[in-house]
Homo-oligomer: A and B are copies of this chain.
Amino acid sequence: MLEMLDLSLSLPKKEASERLKELSRSVGALQRAFRDRAIASVIVLEGWAASGRGKAANSVILALDPRGYSFHYVEPRAKEEGTLLPYWGLIPPAGRMALFGRSWYHDAWRLGDEALFADIAAFERQLAEAGVFVFKAFLHIDAEEQKNRLKQRRKDRDATWTLEPGEWRQNKEYDDNLRTLERLFNATETEWAPWTVIAAHCGRYAAVTLLEALSDAMTARLGASEGSCKGAFLPETTVHGSRLDSLDYSATMKKKPYRKGLAALQKELHILQIEVFRRKLPVILLFEGVDAAGKGGAIRRLTEALYPRTYEVVPVSAPNDWERAHPYLWRFWRTLPDPGNIVIFDRSWYGRVLVERVEGFCRDDEWRRAYREINEMERHLLSWGAAIGKFWLQISPDEQLRRFESRRDDPERNWKLTDEDWRNREKWPLYQEAAAEMLARTSPPEAPWTIVATDSKRLARITVLETVRDLLVARLQSS
């Protein structure tokens, strides 16, 4: 989830302070509305050590009526570490708020215990089912930034009191901690208590984004129908500042190294396909992306390398009536590879959270729960032994226009361009928002998305083939 954040995001001082003022008013009003509607709120603020949780918490607290909330920074007693015992008693009554600057996630992250993760998910479901609003934010900084901040703090006499044991160690074991964290997110990401992850290199940006996300979530909770399942509150989006918005499209590749690289990779893939068949490894490769980003071309370069008997390309379009009469994922389960075979999906089950979401082809709750359904399906396929490669192909808006125009003007290729393509282009921001949320919510460490900037077709194809090769090699080695 975190790797999809653009950590370079920042806000100038003046803009930040204006927006903070406005958001504070909004959150304050929402707090009163929650009190009047007798909704209890639990707000969890977690993050890396030195990520600025204290300041972020302050920005929330300043927005609140002090008579209506309590702030908790819980340090469990011995014998209660790694349990929920210190926290249950602190759940606020109807109409009140509890902010946790240090919550049940603190021990869970440190201990990395899956059973505790499951207990936390159950705990939060119980709260939501009882009508409690649960909001969880995580402030993200990278290892280098953390190191610099910790160094800085050590020098600053006024800040030393904020130092906590384990901070340097967290930095030294940053990568391990990141992996545990992703498992933790995976286990505790639910429709009724979704995570909001925030890029926190710029404190102002973090504070504004946190308040904005909180305000959005509270607004959505107020709007949620009384009968909505388990108090699910469905904010517009819970991903702020996607890396997708700041992709670098400038890299290119010359023809000669491309040809040479392509030939070598195709040769490797051919050999790998045989090994995949011999070892009965089921392989799933799927391609999504904006129109004209080059899915077809990339898939062709891949299949050129493959022996036809043990691979299949499955093009996915809108479901027919028979498929619609079944649960959404049903039709995909029926096209999965036999062990040893490779299935390449040209568009996929992710249509639910892309085109169906944007165009309103399914209900709100249907695409929202699809993230979890898809994660569950892919996890099951991984545990079966499958290799899964997922590619998001992205071009810049300018390049898309160029490609559309070139297709339009070429009588041989203008069949590839439809009115729908132009209409989708007008909805560019909506599709990008949907893609950003998808990329964040469906990138568990064991089945991550590969984002490919495809303004250079050559570079894109090489990247795709390399990634497939690396995936197969890794999967064959580990099986």
* A→B interface (CB under 8 Å): 38, 40, 79-80, 83-85, 88-89, 91-95, 115-116, 119, 122-123, 126-127, 129-132, 225, 227-230, 280, 322, 325-330, 333-334, 336, 339, 369, 373, 376, 379-380, 383-384
Number of copies: 2
Complex alpha-carbon distance, A294 and B328, angstroms:
55
A384-B130 contact in complex given A89-B334, A334-B89, A376-B119, C-beta closer than 8 Å: no
Q: How far is the CB of A24 from chain B (nearest CB, A)?
A: 27
Does A85 lie within 8 Å of B229, measured CB to CB?
Answer: no
Q: Is the CB of B383 within 8 A of A115?
A: yes
In the complex, A119→B89 CA distance in Å?
32
Question: A94-B325, A383-B115 known; A89 and B126 CB under 8 Å?
Answer: no
Provide the residues of chain B in CB contact with A79, threshold 8 Å: 280, 339
Inter-chain contact A330/B376, CB cutoff 8 Å: no
- Evaluate contact between A129 and B369: CB separation under 8 angstroms: yes
Contact B326 A91 (CB under 8 A): yes
Q: Given that A94-B325, A126-B373, A229-B229 are contacting pairs, would A330 and B380 also be in contact in the complex, using a CB cutoff of 8 Å? A: no
Chain B residues positioned under 8 Å from A322 (CB to CB):
93
Instruction: Name 5 extra pairs, CB < 8 A, besides A38-B325, A80-B384.
Output: A83-B384, A92-B326, A94-B326, A119-B383, A127-B327
Q: Are B91 and A327 in contact (CB under 8 A)?
A: yes
Contact B119 A85 (CB under 8 A): no
Cβ contact within 8 Å between A329 and B88: yes
Closest chain-B Cβ to A369's Cβ sits at a distance in Å of 6
Interface pair A83/B380, CB less than 8 Å apart: yes
Q: Is the CB of A328 within 8 A of B83?
A: no
| Shortest Cβ distance from A327 into B: residue | B130
Q: How far is the CA of A89 from the CA of B322 in the complex (A)?
A: 13
Bound form: Cα–Cα A85–B337 in Å: 10
Closest to A376 in B: B122
Residues of B near A227 (CB, < 8 A) are 225, 227-228
Is the CB–CB distance between A333 and B85 below 8 Å?
yes
Shortest beta-carbon contacts, A-B, top 4 = A88-B333, A130-B327, A93-B325, A229-B229
Chain B residues whose C-beta falls within 8 Å of the C-beta of A85 in the assembled complex: 333, 336, 384
Contacts of A380 in B (CB 8 A): 83-84, 119, 122-123
Contacts of A328 in B (CB 8 A): 130
- Report A62 CB to chain B, min CB distance, Å: 26
Taking a contact as CB atoms under 8 Å apart, the answer to whether B325 and A89 are in contact is no
Tell me the smallest distance from the CB of A279 to a CB of chain B, in Å. 11
A471 to chain B, nearest CB (A): 20
Chain B nearest CB, measured from A409 CB (Å)? 45
Point out the residues of chain B lying under 8 angstroms from A122, CB to CB.
376, 380
- A330 and B115 within 8 A (CB): no
Which residue of chain B is the closest to A280 with respect to CB atoms?
B79
Which B residues lie within 8 Å of A229 (CB)? 229-230
Which chain B positions have C-beta within 8 A of A228? 227
Query: Which residue in chain B gives the minimum CB-CB distance to A116?
Result: B383
In the bound complex, residues from chain B placing their C-beta under 8 Å from that of A225 are: 227
